[in-house]
A and B are shown apart, each in its own frame.
Chain A
Amino acid sequence: MAVMGRNEQKSPLSRSIDSDVGLPWVDGGGDVIGWEASERVRECGSFESRQRVLVAEPVVEASEAGARTLGVTYWQAVDRFTRGGVRASWTGGGGKLKLLGAATLLVFGPPELSFDGGLVSCRHSIEGGLLALRASGSVTLAQRPEGDQQELSVTVEGYLPRLAARADAPPWTGLLYAKGQSPFHAAVSRRYFGLLLRSPDS
């Protein structure tokens, strides 16, 4: 659910998406408790979005391999969702999300893997690209305990999308983000959860 905090301003684009809607393609095991997605704009203009599902058991183990699996599966979801049209290309210093192998949509830092206590996560800083106004923010793929369940999440924080409406600009200037990039991101997250939950260890 989208919750507006004290330091956040309501934007024409702020909204919650598909709260508590089940994932039809992972219903079979009955393990998925719910799907939630939210998005908000902070006072500084940066975007924060979060998608999550709850599952009965951990889908990756708490180890470097488990944390890396979260990241690799996410980029695999991007590839699968776009039928190879958008793919991540990695070097030692980070990665680029490329459209048709050419246009660099986003530039990411190398994966920062964490597996401390119950939290398993893979974080990439956002360092530029056509879809970023400037280097700012991160995307984090995580698994963490929530009660007697596990939460799988995709969290984007501090991101400044080039396609979003600027402060004081008419809302229609942000349509490409609101109707294109934002739903695309949410759909990729759904695909990502689906891939994770279909995996053999889940």
Chain B
Amino acid sequence: MNVTVFGATGVVGRALVPLLAAHELTAVSRTAREEPGARWVAADVAEGDGVAAALEGADAVYYLVHSLGARDFEQQDRAAAERVAREAAKAGVRQIVYLGGLGADDPDASPHLRSRRETGERLASTDVPVTIMRAAMIVGKGSAAFETILALVKRLPVMVTPSWVSTPTQPIALDDVARYLAGICGNEAAYGRGFDAGGPEVMTYRQMIERIAALLGRKPAIVEVPVLTPYLSSLWLNLVTPVSASVARPLVEGLRNPTIAREERIRRLLPLELTPFDEAVRQALA
């Protein structure tokens, strides 16, 4: 199959590309590059430059890009998804695979999660079948949400946290996300369907912080306060973590929504052995 990956240089894209080695691969990034294993194409989904060229001859397309951090990220993501969907239909693509977010279908979802859902809807606005895989926090090096938690654990002996630390989530290892994504490529049973890809354990963010801290040999005190707005939280994260406030705020807002798998269809379709949380953290720290 001819496969095009938008966002090939992102955290998930880098983990996915080696797993697609059996296919004729076109890797797309915003700047031109030359790396073995794929035909590299420069394209900008926000502006449209190079998108048609990247999709030429493609059978399947991975859409792994987002504008998180931009002031108008919701509008940008909608427009970019529409553009790629339109061009994919013109190019005769048979499947678009999109990585969305768990909890995004919640009617009260945060703007970030809502944007993930709308992106999926825009990608599905043509006749090209879309496969949506929804994941919670991805545990892997470079994952913004994971790096934020990690920085908090590493830097703060005492954490004053908002009530979102009690929200349940189902983090999944980066490698497992990549394997699921690779497994649904060209899989007709996955055409036009959505899948919840949860990790093997459900935990609250507080439990996650405590588990990561234990692996790092730390024991931070966690003080939960009922009132701490996402804005204040994002300023605080901007101060003590490498994540900028513009990225932290939508992420923090999203932490209010439970992000757990509602169904296990992906586990029946692709019965992979999932990486335990502690092992996923160890791999991310290596």
Contacts and interface: CB of A to CB of B under 8 A. Distances in A.
B13 interface: no
Contacts of A92: 207
A101 B224 contact: yes
Interface string A80-117: 10001001111110000000111000000000000000
A97 to B, nearest CB: 11
Contact of A80 (B108, B166, B224): B108
A69 interface: yes
Interface string A58-98: 00110111101100100010001000100111111000000
Contact of B207 (A80, A87, A90, A199): A90
A72 B264 contact: no
Contact of B168 (A90, A198, A199): A90
A65 B136 CA distance: 14
Contact-residue size bin, chain B (C-beta under 8 Å from the other chain): 20 to 34
A170 interface: no
B26 to A, nearest CB: 32
Interface in B167-224: 168, 194, 196, 198, 202, 204, 206-207, 224
A63 B207 contact: no
A188 to B, nearest CB: 16
Given A65-B262, A87-B166, A199 B226 contact: no
A101 B163 CA distance: 8
A27 B202 CA distance: 33
A28 interface: no
B225 interface: yes
A168 interface: no
B163 A69 contact: no
21 contacts: A61-B264, A61-B265, A65-B260, A65-B263, A65-B264, A66-B262, A66-B263, A69-B260, A69-B262, A72-B168, A72-B258, A87-B163, A89-B166, A91-B204, A91-B206, A91-B207, A101-B225, A101-B226, A199-B105, A199-B262, A200-B105
Given A61-B262, A101-B163, 14 more contacts: A65-B260, A65-B261, A68-B202, A68-B260, A72-B260, A80-B108, A89-B204, A90-B166, A90-B204, A100-B226, A101-B225, A199-B262, A201-B262, A201-B263
Interface of A: 60-61, 63-66, 68-69, 72, 76, 80, 84, 87-92, 100-102, 198-201
Closest 7 A/B residue pairs (Cβ): A101-B226, A200-B105, A89-B166, A65-B261, A69-B262, A63-B264, A61-B263
